[in-house]
Amino acid sequence: MRNLFNAYRVLAIVVGVLLAFCSLVALPLKYLAAEGGSLQQFGESASIMWAVHGWAFMIYFVVAFFLSRKAGWSVGFTIVALAAGLIPLLIFWVEHRVTQRMRVEHPELAAAA
Amino acid sequence: MPTLLAPRFWAIHLLALVLAATAVGLGVWQYDAWHARRAHEAADLTRLDPVPLDDVIGPDDPFPGTKIGQPVVVEGTWVPDGTVYVSGREHAGRAGYWVVTPLAIGSESDPAIPVVRGWVDDPADAPTAPTGRGALVGWLQPPQGTGETDPDPSDDVLPQLRIADVIQHVDQDLYGAYVVVADDVAPGAWPTGPTAVNDGTDGLAPATIEQLPDAGTFTAVRNLLYAVEWWFFGAFALFVWIRWMRDELELEETQPTPEDAPEPEPAGTTVEGQ
């Protein structure tokens, strides 16, 4: 479970950063920056990161699902953890909650900080 | 197995099937969008502004691979004696012939480029080839040639538009390319349609372009990546569903029913009738 937990944390950060970049940087630039300007162009090209986020999310989803089964999370908490990969910034908080929870419920993982 | 068919599980089965079907459907939708956007871009490239032929290819140049389908303005002198017919060309589902006449870029003896003027049922019905000056917009195409040889080099029917075959019918050099008279050109002051000069298309059905330009490798790649992703989620939903059913069955087998519970079984004893 330790490997799964560590993989979960890394993926959560990766997905979170990608999603934050896409939704808070690329998206506003693409639609709000001056049409045809270099910032707008950058936003346009950076949109490919959505696909990267999608694939990272796919892996995150599977890992989070298996972790939830192993750690015995409730259905509600599992759904929040899975959906967090789609809502900007939420995942950082969820990752924090999951880490806290894992440390309490599975003290043997404490060393995995 | 009948346990899994119990009405209390129907909602779960339905949910699993709906999720999987939705994911597959969304994947198909993205996959179609990927195709459509690429086809659209390829068609757009054939409607770029035409450029003079010499800006794209010279008489001795190899075919510029990135210029397939590029509209070009060709201007010169027809070589009516070099007219050939390319067999096995389809138009509206019927097999027929391309009517091809070389156009010397400049005066009569300059290097020429074969021009596909149009399509006809039968070479006997083809109008006479144009003579004198001509100016038109055509789509640039690389010469054909998959090794099919001309079974009868003495007539003017060719199986393919191979430069090596066409050159037998003219006295000058040929470009390493041909053009198809364009019937859909970007707006502008080009010699096309009614403004084309002596383009020799009268009495012929328009020929369709053989090779569309390549859409960029990464055109709409996002749609393709999303399609794969959706299918993956669909497969994952099925996987979770199957695993859940397996777990339910195992639970059924290992857990004694409430009536049996009070009598603990000695280890290793199997329960009769289960």
> Given an 8 Å threshold on Cβ–Cβ distance, is A55 in contact with B229?
yes
Q: What is the DSSP string of A50-90?
A: HHHHHHHHHHHHHHHHHHHHHHT--HHHHHHHHHGGGSTTH
Total structural domains in chain A?
A: 1
B181 and B242 both lie in a single domain: no
Q: Which residues of A touch B240 (CB under 8 A)?
A: 65
Look-up of token digits 């009517």: B99
Q: For each of chain B's 274 residues, which pLDDT tens digit applies?
A: 567 788 888 888 999 999 999 999 999 999 999 989 888 888 788 888 999 999 999 999 999 888 888 999 999 999 999 999 999 888 888 899 999 999 999 888 899 999 999 999 999 888 999 999 999 999 999 988 766 677 777 788 988 888 888 898 999 999 999 999 998 888 888 888 888 888 888 889 998 887 777 777 777 888 899 999 999 999 999 999 998 888 888 887 776 555 544 444 444 444 444 3
**B244, B186: one domain:** no
CA dist list (Å): B165 to B105, B117, B156, B174, B253 = 19, 18, 10, 11, 78
**Domain assignment of residue A38, yes or no:** no
- Determine the structural domain holding residue A77 and report its residue range: 2-19+47-112
Find the CB nearest A48 among B222, B233, B240: B222
Residues B191 and B57 in one domain: yes
Confidence of residue A113 (pLDDT cuts 50, 70, 90): very low
Is A25 inside any structural domain?
Answer: no
> Is pLDDT at A95 greater than 80 in this prediction?
yes
Query: What is the predicted pLDDT for the residue at B42?
Result: 81
Whether residue A29 is contained in a domain is answered as no
Q: Is residue B45 part of a domain?
A: no
- Reported ipTM: the value is 0.77
In chain A, the percentage of residues whose pLDDT exceeds 70 is: 96
Q: Does B239 touch chain A (CB under 8 A)?
A: no
Q: Which domain holds residue B233?
A: 2-36+220-254
Does residue B190 lie within any of the structural domains?
A: yes
- Are the C-beta atoms of residues B113 and B175 closer than 8 Å to each other? yes
Contact criterion met (CB below 8 Å) for A49 and A80 = no
Strands (E), B92-240: 94-104, 112-120, 133-141, 157-158, 178-181
Statement to judge: residues B137 and B247 lie in one domain: no
Residues B81, B154: one domain? Answer: yes
- What token pair was written down for B1? 């197995």
Neighbouring CB atoms inside 10 A of A39's CB total: 14
pLDDT of residue B266: 45
Instruction: Tell me whether residue A87 is in a domain.
Output: yes
Q: Is residue B260 part of a domain?
A: no
Q: Judge if B20 and B151 occupy the same domain.
A: no
Examine residue A33 and state whether it is found in any structural domain, yes or no: no
Q: Which of A47, A51, A65 is facing B226, going by the closest CB pair?
A: A51
- For chain A positions 49-78, those within 8 Å of chain B (CB to CB) are 50-51, 54-55, 58, 61-62, 65
Identify whether residues B97 and B122 lie together within a single domain.
yes
Neighbouring residues of B37: CB distance < 8 A, sequence distance ≥ 6: B215, B219, B220, B223
pLDDT given for residue B254 in this prediction? 77
B154 and B64 assigned to the same domain: yes
Shortest CA distance from A57: residue in chain B: B229
CA angle B257, B259, B262 (to 5 degrees): 105
pLDDT at A99 over 60: yes
Residue A91, in any domain of the structure? yes
Copy the structure tokens of residue B57.
């290819």
Same domain, residue pair B112 and B136: yes
d(Cα B229, Cα B19) in Å, to the nearest integer? 14
How many domains in chain B? 2
In a domain, residue B32? The reply is: yes
Residue A26 Cα, gap to closest chain B Cα (Å) = 15
Average pLDDT, rounded, for chain A:
87
More confident residue, B43 or A111: B43
Sole residue written with tokens 């899994």: B4
Q: CA–CA separation, B20 vs B231, rounded Å?
A: 8
pLDDT band at A34 (very low <50, low <70, confident <90, very high): confident
Task: Decide if B215 is inside a domain.
Answer: no
pLDDT given at position B131: 92
| Mutation for testing the B interface, residue in A30, A47, A55 having most B CBs under 10 Å | A55
Whether residues B147 and B247 fall in one domain: no
What pLDDT is stored for residue B270 in this prediction?
42
- Please indicate, yes or no, if residue B41 is contained in any of the structural domains: no
B221 contacts chain A (CB < 8 A)? yes
